[in-house]
Amino acid sequence: MNNDPGNISSRFQILYEDNHLISVVKPAGILSQSDGSGAEDMITLLSDDIARRRGKPGRAFVGLIHRLDRNVGGTMFFAKTSKGASRASEDMRTGNFYKGYLALTAGWLAGEEGWLRHRLEKDAKQNRVFPSEQGRDCILYYRRLCGIPESGELPERTVYFAVPVTGRAHQIRAQFALSGAPLLGDNKYGTGMLTRRHELGLWSALASVRKTVDRGERIWVNALPDGALWRDGDGKLPGEAEAFICSDTVKTLLPAIKSECGFGGDDDDCF
C-alpha cells in the first residue's frame, strides 16, 4: 500500500494507492478516458504507469469511477480491480462518494453560503446544458472562502467551495454562470476572459470513498490548484482556501450536505 502524498509519477501525483483503488491529481488538459482522438487520457497513463511499477509487460487494469472535464484538474479515484470498481460505483450510486471543488469567479453569488437549484437539459450535439422545464434537477451547495486581489492581467477574483450534490454534466459551470458568477476561463458558459487553453477556474479539491474491503473505513484525499489563476500578486494561494480544504471541518460538512438534501447518489459526474 502507498499512502505517500509525495509519490509523483511522470505525468501526475499519486495521492493514495492500495490493492483496489488509486487516487491521483489529474492535470488540467488531460482527458479522464480516451475519446478516440489520440489525445492523452488518464486511464491509459495510469495503466501504463501501474504496469511499469509492477514490472510486467502490457497494461494494467484501470477502471473509471467518475469523470472530470478535460479542462478541470484535481483529485480523482480510479479502480485497480473489478471489485474496487464495483464497490466505488456503489458508493457513487448511494451518495457515499464525496466530492468538493474550488470555483474561481469574477462575480459574486448571493450570501456567504447557500444553494443553487436549476433544471438543466443537455444538448448532446453542442455538448452543453441549458435551463429547461424538461431538464433534470440540479442541486449545488456553495460557500465563499475568500477573495484574491487584482494582480497583473487578472481581475479581482472570488474563491468558492462548491459541492454538486446531483453530479450532472457541466453542473457547476452552468449553475454559477446562470447565477451571475461565471467561472474564469469558461468559454462555454462564461466569457473565457484572460486565460489560456485548458485553464479554467474550477478544481477538484477533495474526494472521499469507502475502502473496498473494510467498508467501515473511509479514504480522504485533497489537492490544491497550482496554476497562476489561483495565485495572488505574491504567487501564493490564499491561506483561507488551503486551510479549509485541509481541515476536519470539510470532512464533516460533505456528508451533512448530502444528508440535508436527501439526495441518494450521483450519476453524470462531469463538470
Picking from 159, 28, 172, the residue whose alpha carbon sits closest to that of residue 104 is: 159
Give Cα 119 to chain centroid, integer Å. Answer: 21
| Angstrom distance (rounded) from CA 209 to CA 216 | 11
For residue 154, the model assigns a pLDDT of 85
The answer, yes or no, to whether residue 211 has pLDDT greater than 90, is yes
pLDDT tens column, 144-158: 999 999 988 888 999
pTM (predicted TM-score): 0.90
| Angstrom distance (rounded) from CA 56 to CA 242 | 39
The answer, yes or no, to whether residue 118 has pLDDT greater than 90, is yes
For residue 188, the model assigns a pLDDT of 86
Round the average pLDDT of the chain to a whole number and report it.
Answer: 89
For residue 264, the model assigns a pLDDT of 46
> CA 144, 71, 47, 265: dihedral to nearest 10 degrees?
50
For residue 196, the model assigns a pLDDT of 55
pLDDT tens column, 215-264: 999 999 999 998 888 999 898 999 999 999 999 999 999 999 988 876 54
Which amino acid would we find at residue 48?
D
Q: What is the rounded average pLDDT of the residues 177-198?
A: 78
Fold for 13-261, please state it: Pseudouridine synthase (3.30.2350)
C-alpha cell at 122: 443537455
